[in-house]
């Protein structure tokens, strides 16, 4: 069955979000950081509820107390590590080791929390990945990657995305991920080549600066030429990161399906780069006040370049058994949230 | 009548419904069903910008309302829902303005007073071994290109070292490590590092007309070491860097380093003034005029701005000169000469 693609849309507005953001910020400052958990809920809700697909919006149900607990644990662990590293380095290093060892477990909790607390049309998402596989993906693989001098990095990236997407659920439907490591290696390779090219050009520029040829030119001309070349190079190098980000995002979503439904993502390096670079410039010019506008612009760009290719009616999704039993939430997902972005 | 979308919480089916309030009950009227909910069992979402308003029912079903005016009329004007303090804060422009002013005030105050204060306190807690390791790391990095081994004779180095060591000070002298290096790129210069390492270039030794000028510069650097300026500076710029990375991080980590560099390139005027005072004090105790420091500062200034091209400074490339201007130096020279 061939149906029309459903574009995601984002209706968040910079001015509107600025006020929410600044109120969040001042309350966080006045409460010495405690309010930040409630601020996160509000921020997430603002972004989720402004994201629409087929006339319905998404929603976020995270519990601020659970987020606060997670943040306290995070601050506690990191604080203990920093303090003990000064006083008793051995204890400090033990804590660091402990952080590494429990990290995969914390990641699983974080995925569960994030997904279980996300909903669309009243149905919750969920994450069913096991802790065992998390230890393979987030502890064993990184070690293997380092041991092979990062030759395994694209493979690890693919494994991470596969673990996340293959274990995600919407109601009773499963997400699945079909991209192999080969497509990741391709993106990493082209990114690396761009990096090498820019580096070589920088090196050549530096060499020219010291050459005899340039010494005879008037000073203003040298400065002008050098500046122009470097500005161009910096602009080019600034596009490498957006290139990588957009290609990965496109690959990940073009290879993801939910049941029979598929997704597309069509970000471009130049489009994303333009948003990122102008955001950065405006943030600097406004001494940071542009940040909420920047967040909105970046989210709009990402979301509006995604679409769903439905294989049937979206009405047919059914709530999971878990959600049917307790409408408010399950214990496993509500332990605490850990702020780890991947 | 208020139009809404209804979801039963069991499936993703979206059903158009109309809402009205009848005798304290919310009536949800669909095309093929009707449900009545006592209003006190309905969870009404607080206003959040222009996002849809949500009505959650006890059994997991919910309604999504996009007609904000209609929602306002049905629930708020009839008194069935109150605006929260938060949504009131978010909807008054004067609150937003006040919050903006307060936040900016807080950040500026933290940067001007809080950060230097904290850096000062923390710098006393860092073990000497750690800061010395930073020095060695730095020296290793610059020794691979930016700097070369000193071409000064062992005798000359010893002479300067001995003169510097023999300085008396009532309040004692902090631990330091004097190092000589040559550097065509940096030119005449002296600087101190977090662990108390003081580096002086051959070019500075050559620039000085009198050994007391070299001693004066070293004493100035010793002033920085004595008050842990390099370490405090490092801590301050690391914090600024961390905050910047976290703040702009979403945009691009790569770009976050740029403004940090702009904010924290050189010592504050205050640090320089304190080091000058320290130097002037010690020099006087040892019978050296503070104006020696002024003399060498003046020469350094002109050697870097390239006014005295005859000083065989051709090796300094014009591109570097763009980045080295010291507007405060004249004032410092006047102060030192006034003493």
- Give the ipTM of the model, two decimals please: 0.81
Partners of A314 on chain B (C-beta within 8 Å) are 12, 14
How high is the pLDDT of residue B325?
42
Residues 265 through 284 of chain B touching chain A, CB cutoff 8 Å: none
Integer Cα distance of B20 and B28 in angstroms: 7
**Helix, strand, or coil (residue B93):** helix
Burial classification of residue B86, based on how many CB atoms lie within 10 Å of its CB (0-12 exposed, 13-18 middle, 19 or more buried):
middle
Q: Which chain A residues have a beta carbon less than 8 Å from that of B10?
A: 318-319, 324
- Residues of chain A contacting residue B89, judged by C-beta atoms under 8 Å apart: 23
Partner residues linked to A342 by β-bridges: none
- CA-to-CA dists, residue B332 to A296, B135, B224, B276, angstroms: 48, 28, 15, 8
Identify the pLDDT of residue A52.
95
Q: Give me the count of residues in chain B.
A: 339
How much is the pLDDT for A214? 62
Regions of chain B with pLDDT less than 70: 248-267, 305-327, 339
Spatial separation of the C-alpha atoms in residues B156 and B305, rounded to whole Å: 28
The position carrying tokens 């929410």 is A20
Question: How much is the pLDDT for B315?
Answer: 44
pLDDT at residue A255, rounded to an integer: 96
CA dist A179 and A161 (Å) reads: 9
- At A322 the pLDDT is 65
**May I ask the CATH class of domain B2-83?**
mainly beta
pLDDT at A58: 96
- Subunit contact A46:B49, Cβ cutoff 8 A: yes
B318 touches chain A (CB under 8 A): yes
Q: How far is B10 from chain A (nearest CA, A)?
A: 5
CB pair distance less than 8 Å for B322 and A223 = yes
Q: What is the mean pLDDT for each group of 10 consecutive residues in chain A (342 residues)?
A: 81 94 91 91 95 93 88 82 76 86 87 91 92 94 92 95 95 94 96 89 75 66 74 78 93 95 95 91 87 95 95 87 50 51 46
Question: Dihedral, CA atoms, B88, B91, B94, B98, nearest 10 degrees?
Answer: 70
Listed by start position, the domains of chain B span 2-83, 92-125, 127-338
User: Which pLDDT value is given to residue A72?
Assistant: 85
Two tokens, residue B243:
């905050």
* pLDDT given at position A56: 92
pLDDT at B330: 78
Model pLDDT for residues A144-195, shown as the tens digit of each residue: 999 999 999 999 999 999 999 999 999 999 999 999 999 999 999 999 999 8
To the nearest whole angstrom, how far is the Cα of A228 from the nearest Cα of chain B? Answer: 13
pLDDT number for residue B262: 47
Distance from CA of A163 to the nearest CA of B (A): 23
CA distances in angstroms from A32 to A27, A37, A337, B298, listed in the order given: 8, 12, 20, 48
Helices (H), chain B: 68-71, 85-91, 93-109, 115-123, 128-143, 154-165, 202-207, 211-226, 229-248, 253-263, 269-285, 291-305, 318-321, 329-338
> Which residues of chain B have a CB within 8 Å of the CB of A298?
250-251
What pLDDT is stored for residue A332 in this prediction? Answer: 43
Q: Which helix (H) or strand (E) holds A301?
A: helix A291-304
- The pLDDT tens digits of the residues spanning B155-175 come to 999 999 998 888 877 777 788
The percent helix, strand, coil of chain A (3-state, each to 5) is 65, 10, 20
Which chain B residue lies closest to A275 (C-alpha atoms)?
B251
Picking from B8, B101, B103, B123 by the largest number of A CB atoms within 10 A of its own CB, the best residue to mutate is B103
Residue B138's pLDDT is: 82
Looking at chain B, which residue has its C-alpha nearest residue A54? B14
- Verify whether the Cβ–Cβ distance B251 to A324 is below 8 Å: no
Strands B190-192 and B197-201: antiparallel
- Dihedral Cα B326, B330, B331, B334, nearest 10 deg: 150
Q: How far apart are the first and last CA of chain B?
A: 85
Q: What is the pLDDT of residue A100?
A: 85
- pLDDT for res B309: 47
The answer for B 85-104 residues in CB contact with A (under 8 A) is 86, 89-91, 93, 95-96, 99-100, 102-103
């Amino acid at each position: 069955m061939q149906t029309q693609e459903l574009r995601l849309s984002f209706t968040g507005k910079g001015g509107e979000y600025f006020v929410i953001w600044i109120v969040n910020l001042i309350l966080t400052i006045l409460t010495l950081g405690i309010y930040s958990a409630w601020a996160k809920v509000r921020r997430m809700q603002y972004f989720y509820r402004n994201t629409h697909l087929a006339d319905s919006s998404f929603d976020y149900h995270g519990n601020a107390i659970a987020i606060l607990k997670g943040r306290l644990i995070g601050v506690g662990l990191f604080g203990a590590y920093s303090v003990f590293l000064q006083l008793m380095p051995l204890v400090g290093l033990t804590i660091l080791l402990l952080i590494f060892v429990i990290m995969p477990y914390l990641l699983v909790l974080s995925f569960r929390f994030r997904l279980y607390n996300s909903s669309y049309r009243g149905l919750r998402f969920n994450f069913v990945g096991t802790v065992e596989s998390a230890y393979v993906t987030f502890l064993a693989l990184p070690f293997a990657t380092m041991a092979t001098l990062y030759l395994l990095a694209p493979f690890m990236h693919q494994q991470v995305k596969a673990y996340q997407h293959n274990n995600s659920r919407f109601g009773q439907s499963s997400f699945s991920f079909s991209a192999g490591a080969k497509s990741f290696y391709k993106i990493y390779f082209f990114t690396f080549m761009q990096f090498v090219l820019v580096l070589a050009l920088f090196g050549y520029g530096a060499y020219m600066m010291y050459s005899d040829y340039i010494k005879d030119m008037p000073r203003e001309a040298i400065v002008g030429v050098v500046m122009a070349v470097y500005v161009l190079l910096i602009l080019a190098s600034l596009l490498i990161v957006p290139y990588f980000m957009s290609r990965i995002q496109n690959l990940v979503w073009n290879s993801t399906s939910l049941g029979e439904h598929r997704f597309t993502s069509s970000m471009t390096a130049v489009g994303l780069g333009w948003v990122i670079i102008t955001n950065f410039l405006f943030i600097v010019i406004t001494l940071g006040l542009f940040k909420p506008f920047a967040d909105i612009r970046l989210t709009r760009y990402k979301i509006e370049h995604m679409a769903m290719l439905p294989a049937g009616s979206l009405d047919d999704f059914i709530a999971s058994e878990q959600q049917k039993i307790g409408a408010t939430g399950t214990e496993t997902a509500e332990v605490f949230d850990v702020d780890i972005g991947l | 009548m208020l139009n809404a979308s209804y979801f039963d919480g069991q499936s993703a089916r979206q059903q158009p419904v109309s809402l009205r309030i009848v005798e304290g009950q919310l009536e949800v009227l669909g095309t093929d069903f009707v449900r009545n909910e006592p209003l006190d069992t309905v969870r009404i979402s607080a206003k959040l910008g222009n996002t849809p308003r949500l009505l959650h029912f006890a059994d997991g079903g919910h309604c999504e309302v996009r007609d904000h005016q209609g929602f306002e009329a049905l629930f708020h004007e009839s008194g069935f829902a109150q605006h929260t303090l938060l949504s009131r804060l978010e909807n008054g422009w004067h609150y937003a303005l006040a919050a903006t002013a307060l936040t900016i005030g807080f950040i500026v105050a933290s940067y001007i007073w809080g950060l230097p204060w904290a850096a000062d306190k923390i710098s006393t807690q860092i073990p000497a071994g750690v800061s010395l390791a930073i020095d060695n790391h730095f020296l290793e990095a610059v020794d691979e290109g930016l700097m070369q081994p000193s071409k000064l004779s062992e005798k000359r180095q010893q002479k300067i070292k001995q003169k510097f060591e023999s300085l008396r000070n009532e309040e004692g002298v902090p631990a330091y490590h004097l190092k000589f290096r040559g550097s065509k790129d940096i030119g005449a210069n002296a600087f101190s590092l977090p662990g108390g390492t003081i580096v002086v270039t051959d070019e500075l030794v050559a620039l000085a007309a009198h050994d007391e000028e070299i001693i004066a510069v070293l004493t100035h650097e010793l002033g920085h070491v004595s008050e842990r300026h390099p370490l405090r500076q490092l801590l301050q710029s690391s914090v600024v860097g961390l905050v910047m990375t976290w703040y702009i991080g979403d945009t691009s980590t790569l770009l976050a380093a740029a403004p940090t560099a702009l904010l924290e390139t050189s010592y504050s005027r205050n640090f320089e003034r304190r080091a000058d005072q320290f130097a002037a004090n010690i020099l006087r105790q040892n019978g050296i005029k503070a104006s020696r420091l002024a003399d060498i500062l003046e020469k350094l200034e002109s050697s870097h701005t390239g006014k005295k091209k005859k000083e065989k400074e051709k090796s300094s490339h014009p591109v570097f000169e763009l980045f080295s201007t010291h507007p405060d130096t004249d004032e410092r020279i006047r102060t030192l000469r006034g003493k």
